[in-house]
Amino acid sequence: MKKYLSLIPFAALIALIATCVSVFGTEALEGATQVSLLIASAVCVLVGYLMGRVEWELLEREMTDKIASCMPSIIILLLIGAIGSTWMVSGIVPTMIYYGVQVLRPEWFLISSSIFCALVSLMVGSSWTTVATIGVALMGIGRAHGFDDGWVAGSIITGAYFGDKLSPLSDTTVLASSVSGTPLFTHIRYMMKTTIPTFLISLLIFTMAGLLMKVSGSGEVSFLHQLKESFMISPWLLLVPVVTGVMIARRWPAMVVLFLAAMMAAVVAVVWQPALLSQIAENSWYESIMKVIYGSTQLQTGAVDLDQLVHTNGMAGMMPTVWLIICAQVFGGVVTATGVLGDVMQIILHFVHGTASLVASTALTGIFCNIALSDQFLSIILTSSMFKDVYRERGYEPRLLSRTCEDGATVTSVLVPWNTCGLVQSTVLGVATLAYLPYCFFNFLSPVTSVIVAASGRVKGGDKANRHRVKGADIHRERVHLLP
């Protein structure tokens, strides 16, 4: 009976966050979700007290250790905020948009928009930024060509989340690798085994759909003119993404790559976009650059689409996510120290009998967390925390866990109407979540691909001897110890 009492903190968290989303909508991440995590943590402490498991020193140590383990992720998140702003204001992203949009012909529009969004998202590391910038432009172009909104939004989201998932600049990619204990680039390389085949299948579908649909028209001319009028556009600006790609290929540390990429873009902004910088601070380019890096900037270009395009939040825009991670780690530390997480894992493990079922259980847990908790960051953190020691005890490498968390939690978040990702993307694109869901092929096929690859036997354990030891009829009767 005590084991089922451990479900109470999770039920409380689900109820609290569901209420937050219904009341605050897309603003739930501004603080309400974080407070909900702290309240749920208090509920967990109470449950632990009733079960006789509360040792305050242990609670404090667990919370402190878990927060400390995410400090590299927090630093990287702040640097990602700096890159998002500097690459936008410097004209790097607008230049990529300018040259990319010109290749989007009607019959190839769906596949081209998906590939283009994938490239932009891979470079900037944010599906949200990609959808809110080039995605908005592509929606207008797609409508001008006569495509159904669902198809256009599906192609945009497919590309944006593919690029986000494989980008070392992505907050979710960094988070998934960090909380599972996997080196960032090891995590990215391992994800390619499931991510690339799924994306290719999606592109094939978009190719066939584009060739079979009868559409015509052009909506890009005015948008390209607005870009040219508002920014200094030049192919030389693309050197920054190229150099960044070289640093990534040479496996430089993520923090170094992100910092240098932001600094290069800052220099480019001073040289190529002085008129835009003067809107931020009239008398000092130094002041302008600093504000771009750390704060919110709203430039006036004279075009509504471009005003939205160049609006950036810098490092400050990452603070709600940082706050969320800290509060989520507090909750994770409490459920670990009280043994609540271990009890829940014992319930789940009754349904796990091998590699495929373990991967399926992990992916389904991520999807369930997206539905129940309404946030992909929470889904990644909690799913990884719940399964981390199980993977280790059964001899599987951490990269299998990090990949499965991404396949289950990251990409499906946008398919849930009340999830923060679903709310944001549907609002930005002006398309209901359920309207674009059937066309987000990459997003709903990723968990399936992950399970198929696991079932194929192409998964290797990190400790073969340990994995062999735990195989057998009593595998799910072993006690799961969730230690830091």
Quick: pLDDT tens for 410-448.
999 999 877 778 877 887 788 888 899 999 999 999 999
DSSP string, 51-91: TT---HHHHHHHHHHHHHHTHHHHHHHHHHHHHHHHHHHTT
Longest distance between any two alpha carbons in the chain, whole Å? 74
**pTM of this structure:** 0.68
Q: Do 113 and 139 touch, CB atoms closer than 8 A? A: no
Q: Helix or strand or coil: residue 116? A: helix
The pLDDT score that the predictor gives to residue 463 is: 41
Specify the higher pLDDT residue, 96 or 436: 436
Bridge partners, residue 297, by sequence? 312
Neighbours of 281 (CB within 10 A): 15
How far is 305 from 192, CA to CA, in rounded Å?
A: 34
Specify the higher pLDDT residue, 154 or 338: 154
How far is 220 from 4, CA to CA, in rounded Å?
A: 58
Mean pLDDT check: name the lowest of 124-138, 169-183, 191-205, 329-343: 124-138
Residue 188 backbone dihedrals phi, psi, to 5 degrees: -65, -45
How far is 463 from 268, CA to CA, in rounded Å?
A: 48
Report DSSP state, residue 230: H
The label of the residue with tokens 């079960």 reads 51
For residue 482, pLDDT beyond 50: no
How far is 7 from 2, CA to CA, in rounded Å?
A: 10
What's the mean pLDDT when you consider all of the chain? 81
Q: Break the chain into its structural domains and give their ranges.
A: 72-318
DSSP string, 412-470: TGGGSTTSHHHHHHHHHHT--HHHHGGG-HHHHHHHHHHHHHHHTT---BS-HHHHHHH
| % of residues, the chain, pLDDT over 70 | 87
Q: Do 268 and 341 touch, CB atoms closer than 8 A? A: no
The pLDDT score that the predictor gives to residue 208 is: 94
| Token pair for 69 | 């383990």
For residue 330, pLDDT beyond 60: yes
Nearest to 84 by CA among 135, 124, 128: 124
